[in-house]
Structure 1
Amino acid sequence: MRVVIEKPPEGGEEELIVRVNQLSERVLELLRVIQAEDEKLMCYHEDGSLSVLCPSSVFYFESVDNRVYAYEKAEVSELKQKLYELEQRFAGTDFIRISKSMILNLAKVERFAPSFSGRFEAILQNGEKVVISRQYVPAVKKRLGL
């Protein structure tokens, strides 16, 4: 496969052209990743204000008491989506389910460490530690190529 990268003319719009003989699952996955990078999420704050959240800044999504929160480096925002909706929306990207109540951004993980009872622990770039449930460890290992 040949890859060509060109800079658009000054003021020109960026575009991605894909020429394939057959649309494979690998190409579709790459397209999903590229499209997910442009997606934005609406966040709701306690004071009633709204803001736009870029998914690449999210360390993980967590469901607590039927509410879903997005955890960034130093900020937590509430989302209106359900956790399974976020999992579907970001399928094929760096986000992966690590427990019934959490989706982790693998791009924000500094390292992994084994934990008790077959669980793993992910140490994030901000120093926070999250537990990967025993049930989800095989999927994480597969995604990491282990």
Structure 2
Amino acid sequence: MKISIENIPAGSEPEIIIKCNEPDESLLQLIYSIKSSSKKLIGFTDLQMHIINPKDVFYFESVDNKVFIYCEQKIFQSRLKLYEIELEYENSDFFRASKSTIINISKIESVSPVFYGKFEALLQNGEKIFISRQYVPVFKKKLGL
């Protein structure tokens, strides 16, 4: 892959041009990460609104029709629905692990197979999350297996 960088006049908007035959999965993921680098999540605790970088999120979980954002030390509530989060971050490191959970792959420390085709993911913060057997193929695809 060839990479070129050109200087532009001051005040001009930066532009990225990609030349390729067919965009593959890794290229699409790169494009998405560039586009989403400025995206922020909004999380709520009591009466405070917090701006959260998606890279700091370990997982999202839906409980009693409320969606929670789990970071390393804090938990926030989101006004987005789980399916909206899944659509927003489908081309990133996030994937649906069960009906009620979306996990950030980059925060997984290890994965172990458990009973009936499920996997158990140990996150970097020590939490364990189950990956339902119906989502295991999606997980493997995200990992390139």
Smaller-chain TM-score range?
A: 0.7 to 0.9
Q: Which residue of 2 aligns with 1:32?
A: 32
Give the deviation of 1:28 after TM superposition: 3.7
| 1:123–1:129 Cα contact (<8 Å) kept | yes
State, as a whole percentage, how many aligned pairs show the same letter. Answer: 43
Structure 2 Cα separation of the partners of residues 44 and 38 of structure 1: 19
Corresponding residue number in structure 2 for 1:88 = 87
Report the CA distance shift for 1:13/1:57 in structure 2 as closer, same or farther (over 3 A).
farther
Q: How does 1:1-146 map to 2 (within 5 A)?
A: 1-4=1-4, 15=14, 17-20=16-19, 24=23, 26=25, 27-46=27-46, 48-146=47-145
Q: Could you list the per-position Cα deviations for residues 12-50 of structure 1 after superposition, in whole angstroms to 9, with x for gaps in the alignment?
A: 99945123255735444321122223210111112x111
**Counterpart Cα distance in 2 of 1:56 and 1:16:** 24
Retained in 2: the 8 A contact 1:60–1:104? Answer: yes
Size of the alignment, in residue pairs? 143
- Give the CA RMSD over aligned residues: 2.3
CA 1:21–1:117: 2 relative to 1, 3 Å: closer
Query: Which 4+ residue blocks in structure 1 deviate beyond 6 angstroms?
Result: 11-14
Contact 1:98/1:136 (8 A) holds in 2: yes
Question: How far does residue 113 in structure 1 lie from its aligned partner after superposition?
Answer: 0.5
Distance in 2 between residues matched to 1:118 and 1:55, nearest whole Å:
29
Check conservation: 1:37, 1:56, Cα contact below 8 A. no
Whole-angstrom distance in 2 between the partners of 1:13 and 1:90? 29
Aligned equivalents of 2:68, 2:141: Cα separation in 1: 26
CA offsets per residue over residues 38-77 of structure 1, 9 Å max, x none?
210111112x111111100000000000000100001000
Cα shift at 1:5: 5.3
Give 1:80 shift. Answer: 0.2
Distance, in Å, in 2 between the alignment partners of 1:92 and 1:114 is: 25
Q: With the length of structure 2 as denominator, give the TM-score of the two structures.
A: 0.87
